[in-house]
Amino acid sequence: MRSRENAPCVLYAADDVCSSHTTFDSAGRNVSFPYQGLCDNTLPSEWRRLTGDAGSYLPESCPQPQSDVCGTSYPGWLNGIHPTTAEGVVTRTACFSTSTECCTYSTSIEVKNCGNFYVYKLAPAPTCNLGYCVTNVGECVSDSCNSFFFSFSAIVAIVSKTMP
């Protein structure tokens, strides 16, 4: 994830999606929330900013555990990277993971970088029991974060034992 520090100040026209969107702000969509019956198959396809207790962006990796998080049975995540401001509106794939694989279901969504935040045109989920997951910058959503920390800690321990 690119740093948002020193993001340029950008002004938008009144009809630009960066200034004309709805919000997702429910904490129940955050990666830290357990299952609570969220189902996005009837979600209106409109531009949304992720904010508040929900978090600020779609995760770029499969949430772990792969199911029963983000308020839903099968959490949705961005399979790819977020765009730069220069790219404008881009089409990306949203994957929905199950307990056995990270991209059992998928759909196309649109994403735009608005400088200090992203907006998403989320499509309805392919079926019920699927819901979009939201996280915060720097919040770990996969086991690889723990693996990296363990590996880094192990290297530090080995180096400190071998140094005089």
What percent of the chain is predicted at pLDDT more than 90? 68
Q: What is the mean pLDDT of the chain?
A: 82
Q: Can you tell me whether residue 149 is helix, strand or coil?
A: helix
Q: Domain total for the chain?
A: 1
Q: Across-strand partners of 86?
A: none
Residue with tokens 């977020």: 82
The answer to the question of residue 4 being in a domain is no
pLDDT, one tens digit per residue, over 91-141 is 999 999 998 999 999 999 999 999 999 999 999 999 999 999 999 876 666
The answer to the question of residue 96 being in a domain is yes
pLDDT value for 149: 33
pLDDT value for 13: 54
Lowest mean pLDDT among 55-69, 91-105, 137-151: 137-151
The answer to the question of residue 72 being in a domain is yes
d(CA 22, CA 81): 22
pLDDT value for 41: 96
The answer to the question of residue 9 being in a domain is no
DSSP letter for each residue of 20-85? S-EEE--GGGBTT-B------TT----EEEE-GGG-SB--SS--SSSSSBTTBSEEEEEES-PPPG
pLDDT value for 89: 96
The answer to the question of residue 162 being in a domain is no
pLDDT value for 59: 95
Domain span at residue 74 reads 22-139
The answer to the question of residue 80 being in a domain is yes
Is the pLDDT at 143 greater than 80, yes or no?
Answer: no
The answer to the question of residue 158 being in a domain is no
Asked if 69 contacts 63 with a C-beta cutoff of 8 angstroms, the reply is yes
